[in-house]
Structure 1
Amino acid sequence: MTPTIHASEVADMSLAGHGEGLCDWSAQSMPILARLRERYAAEQPFAGRRIAIAVHITTETANLALTLQAGGAEVFLCASNVRTTNDAVAAYAARQGVHVHGIQGEDRETYAAHCHRVLDARPHLVIDDGADLTGLLHGARTDAASDVVAGLEETTAGIQRIRSLEADGLLRYPVIAVNEARTKHLFDNRYGTGQSTMDAVLRLTNTLVAGARVVVAGYGMCGKGVAARARGMGADVLVTEVDHVRALEAVMDGYRVMEMDRAAELGDLFITVTSSKNVLRAEHFALMPDGAIVCNSGHFDVEIDVPALRAAARKHTRPRPGVDQYTLANGRRITLLAGGEVVNLAAAEGNPATLMDMSFANQVLGCEYLLRNAARMDHRVHALPADIDDHVADLKLRTLGVGIDTLSEEQIAYLRSWDQGSA
């Protein structure tokens, strides 16, 4: 079946010049992708392949798309969130020949239509961020799945959804969990999300973090990063968790850990990073101090029960862009940032390019690996091969001018032995 190729749909093509400058600036901090792009331009490993990408349309994503395009791929890009498209970047990528469907602040219907338009191209590979394309390929758009060789998923939330498909025996093709690569979650999730989340809070509110009680809901890698950055800015950090081991780890890291029912009474700033639903609910809003700020840095906008907050409010104001303040019946004011969307992208610029360089290098090297090996792989969630993970770390260290030791033959033999100990 011949795929349908839709013309790009972006907000304003006249923004492309501005977008080019933004992407060039970002590319200066993405030397790994630059090296890969140079190799791909010569080798053309993706020639004749159609690659669908559903990722936040940022400068880093544009550089990912252009790297795949340099390797011969025809690239189709849509956003993975209604508020995380940079319109100037979208215009620039479209001018460079990427098929882009994304507009900042688009409504849910337009967002869904853009996902469908990308799938109309009948892609061979799918790079997903939250598994919206994957969900469609296993539901309403199974017609577009026949050409899909394999997929890659970038987020914790997306991996959860895809593992559910696997558990039900419904997964149609192998998927690499890029999010679980060490060079992704140990850096992008932890250092990137931590910094960009606090950046967004400061941009929106200009609040003082030092001395504030910051409640971090979820102590996965993103939560660890947010907690560390908040503590580094002088906050008293409280952590809530549902996982016993993570909760214990937070205690050992020096944080106060408690149930959200208790934390709700204490917090000045609440940040959710759980990949779960309704973490902050009506009963928590009723307990929060006057002026409490709530925001979400998880992928989906379901972590804060925004409808319940609106229903409980007797007054709503918008004192600053991206800031909604709700006055409850008890007279207390609750401030919601970015409408409950992923705050570090809806209100800031997402994770720094130097970290996304590693994450997106994993994506493109994962694509290359899948085209060679997918036919022999089970239809389940797979880890990114360790040698790719290690290669990306090696490349990053080289670009930073950092050298490390290597094992001697004697050390290798010792580490591989079973009969050598202290004797």
Structure 2
Amino acid sequence: MSTYSTITEQLDDAEAARTEGRRKMDWARQHMPILEALREEYEADQPFAGQRIAMAMHVEAKTANLVELLADGGAEVAVTGCNPLSTHDDVSAALDAHERITSYAKRGVDDEEYYEAIHAVLDISPTITVDDGMDMVAAVHEDYPELIDSLLGGCEETTTGVHRLRAMDEDGALEYPVFAVNDTPMKRLFDNVHGTGESALANIAMTTNLSWAGKTVVIAGYGDCGRGLAKKAAGQNANVVVTEVEPRRALEAHMEGYDVMPMAEAAEVGDVFITVTGNRDVITKEHFESMKDGVLLANAGHFDIEVDLAALDDLAADRYEAREGVEAFELDDGRRLNVLAEGRLVNLASPIALGHPVEVMDQSFGVQAVCVRELVDNADAYEPGVHDVPDELDKRVAEIKLAADGVEFDALTDEQREYMGSWEHGT
């Protein structure tokens, strides 16, 4: 084969990838009315002209529409992945074709390549960061402190990232303002509950071709994501067990009708284990030793540290691919413990993963978009540290969604508003 033919084929493959990525983005865009309304506004106003936005996100079709919205609003955008296995390469290629977007996201990178891409994104000397997991913010502080003075602020998408940011803030180490997008009602009540609940269970079922009915599903963690997983699993006729370390959440799960027990006990009865704590070493050697043959181990938290895979590997006499996206660890006694998506985010890192439903991410990314504009318009109002999203911005995103769905709702009368704001009205 001639060199010319090889180059031609590579160009054809690249064009095919961009076309497929665009097709995925266009499908998602049809179902993202919030971003579509904001796109119309931002294209007209160009609020991000002159801004440079560095992003570390799950680069797939829904995220791509947020990235493109910011670029169409005037920004120069550089983006990479926030998980080595969640990027859709065709979507990354489609983004990179935009004149104001550079995408460094690539699926299947090792740790060194992952952080090299983050550093490449930061080479644009950003004025705003948009993060999912806080790796971008950490890189700024550890490797590029000279950028801090020029940063207006940032936005953080996920629970784990906000936990890390708050710890950083408490230590006095966070040197620019970051919105905790994850903690706002439009994110928590929909993305975490419905998004994680539906997408994690759907991807596990599609990856394994197994039913939920009659299985005992152990949910480790009963925050917003765990609550959604438990509700959705019970709705598909699974028996749900919850493990928790926080007494009020454990009590809430108990009063919702779920069995609550320590992981040491749950390990003996579970068929499927889904971790969603944001913490490390949730399922460890002692738990593996008492699990049944054939269990499924999945993580729907952010990082691949919730299931102790190193300990499982030490216990295993053999390990092999049982099915695409499923690795079996066979123990000395013949029991097989099956790990999905290498212990990474099962709803984004499995071979067939598509992430959260489009409509759910439209809401979350709508909040991201209005927060980026808030930083551009009112950066002086925010000191370094973690900030809640202004409630009026969150409500505005909800109003756009309701209008798009043709849903009308009541408003307070002047008398009601006065009553609710007064302490003088008694019995």
Aligned AA (1:215): V
**Which residue of the partner structure matches residue 349 of structure 1?**
354
Name the CA shift for 1:178/1:314 in 2 (closer, same or farther; >3 Å). same
Q: Confirm or deny: 8 A CA contact 2:304 2:344 kept in the other structure.
A: yes
Q: Using the aligned pairs only, state the percent identity.
A: 44
1:18-50 per-residue CA deviation (whole Å, 9 max, x = no partner) reads 111110000011111111111111111100100
Query: Does the 8 A contact of 1:322 with 1:338 survive in 2?
Result: yes
Mapped partners of 1:327, 1:42: distance in 2: 59
Corresponding residue to 1:152 among 145, 151, 155: 155
Q: Distance in 2 between matches of 1:223 and 1:94?
A: 35
Distance 1:288 1:232 in 2: 25
Q: C-alpha offsets along residues 307-363 of structure 1, whole Å, 9 cap, x if unaligned? A: 111110001121211110111123211000011010000121111111111111111
Give distance in 1, aligned partners of 2:214 and 2:16. Answer: 45
Q: What CA distance in whole angstroms lies between the structure 1 residues aligned with 2:212 and 2:275?
A: 16
How far the C-alpha of 1:375 sits from its partner, in A, is 2.2
* Whole-Å separation in 2 of the counterparts to 1:374 and 1:248: 41
* Corresponding residue number in structure 1 for 2:39: 37
Cα distance in 1 for residues equivalent to 2:51 and 2:423: 47
The structure 1 residue matched to 2:394, chosen from 366, 389, 394, is 389
Tell me what 2:9 maps to.
none
Aligned residue in 2 for 1:194: 197
Report the equivalent of 2:380. Answer: 375
Tell whether 2:62 aligns with 1:60: yes
Secondary structure class of the residue paired with 1:262: helix
The residue identity in structure 1 corresponding to 2:264 is: D
Residue 366 of structure 1, aligned match among 358, 361, 371: 371
1:120 and 1:144 in contact (8 A); partners too: no
> Which residue identity is paired with 1:272?
T
Structure 2 Cα separation of the partners of residues 377 and 192 of structure 1:
30
Which amino acid in 1 is paired with 2:187? K
Aligned equivalents of 2:149 and 2:315: distance in 1? Answer: 47
Q: Which residue of 2 aligns with 1:110?
A: 113
> Could you tell me how far 1:417 is from its partner in structure 2?
2.2
Q: Following the alignment from structure 2 to structure 1, what is the Cα–Cα distance between the partners of residues 425 and 152?
A: 46
- The TM-score, its normalising length taken from structure 1, stands at 0.96
* Superposition deviation, residue 13 in structure 1: 5.1
Query: 1:207: Cα distance to partner?
Result: 1.1
**Matched residue SS, 1:295:** strand
Aligned equivalent of 2:288, options 285, 288, 311: 285
Secondary structure at 1:151's aligned position in 2?
strand
Give the partner amino acid of 1:18: E
Counterpart-to-counterpart distance in 1, 2:285 and 2:371 = 42
2:239 is aligned with what amino acid?
D
The 8 Å contact of residues 213 and 235 in structure 1, kept in 2 or not, is answered as yes
Q: How does 1:248-267 map to 2 (within 5 A)?
A: 248-267=251-270
Q: Please name the residue that 1:8 is paired with.
A: none
Q: Deviations over 1:266-302 (max 9, x none)?
A: 1000000000001010110011111111010111111
Structure 2 residue identity aligned to 1:374: A
| Gap regions ≥5 residues in structure 2 | 1-12
Work out which of the residue numbers 165, 171, 174 in structure 1 matches 2:174.
Answer: 171
| Contact 2:37/2:400 (8 A) holds in 1 | no
State the match for 1:49 in structure 2: 51
Q: Which runs of 5+ in 1 are unaligned?
A: 1-10
For residue 240 of structure 2, the aligned residue among 237, 241, 247 is 237
Question: Is the deviation greater in 408-417 or in 109-118?
Answer: 408-417
**Structure 2 residue 132 is matched with structure 1 residue 119:** no
Q: 1:327 to 1:95 in 2, by over 3 A?
A: same
State the partner residue of 2:249: 246
The residue aligned with 1:26 is: 28
Q: Distance in 2 between matches of 1:370 and 1:150?
A: 6
Matched residues in 1 for 2:271 and 2:126: separation? 46
Give the equivalent residue in structure 2 for 1:214: 217
**Mapped pair 1:313 → 2:316:** yes
**2:5 corresponds to:** none
Which string of whole-angstrom CA distances, capped at 9 and with x for unpartnered residues, describes residues 360-410 of structure 1?
Answer: 111111011111222232211000000001111111111111111111222
> What's 2:422 paired with?
417
Local SS of the residue matching 1:403? coil
Residues 156/271 of structure 1: CA separation in 2 closer, same or farther (3 Å cut): same
Question: Does the 8 A contact of 1:12 with 1:87 survive in 2?
Answer: no
Q: Is the 8 A contact 2:84 2:114 kept in 1?
A: yes
Q: Which amino acid aligns with 1:253?
A: E
For residues 197-222 of structure 1, what are the alpha-carbon distances to aligned partners after superposition, in whole Å with 9 as ceiling and x for unaligned? 01110111111210000000001111
What is the alpha-carbon distance in structure 2 between the residues aligned to residue 409 and residue 376 of structure 1?
30
RMSD of equivalent CA atoms: 1.1
Q: Which has the higher helix share?
A: 2
Distance across 2 between alignment mates of 1:376 and 1:413: 28
> Paired residue for 1:334, among 310, 332, 337?
337
Per-residue deviation at 1:53?
A: 0.8
Moved more, 405-414 or 318-327: 405-414
Q: State the alpha-carbon separation in 2 of the partners of residues 249 and 320 from structure 1.
A: 36
Counterpart CA distance in 1 for 2:117 and 2:203 is 27
Q: Which residue of 2 aligns with 1:83?
A: 85
TM-score, normalized by length of structure 2? 0.95
Question: Which residue of 394, 402, 405 corresponds with 2:410?
Answer: 405
Q: Alpha-carbon deviation of 1:147?
A: 2.1
Distance 1:143 1:250 in 2: 46
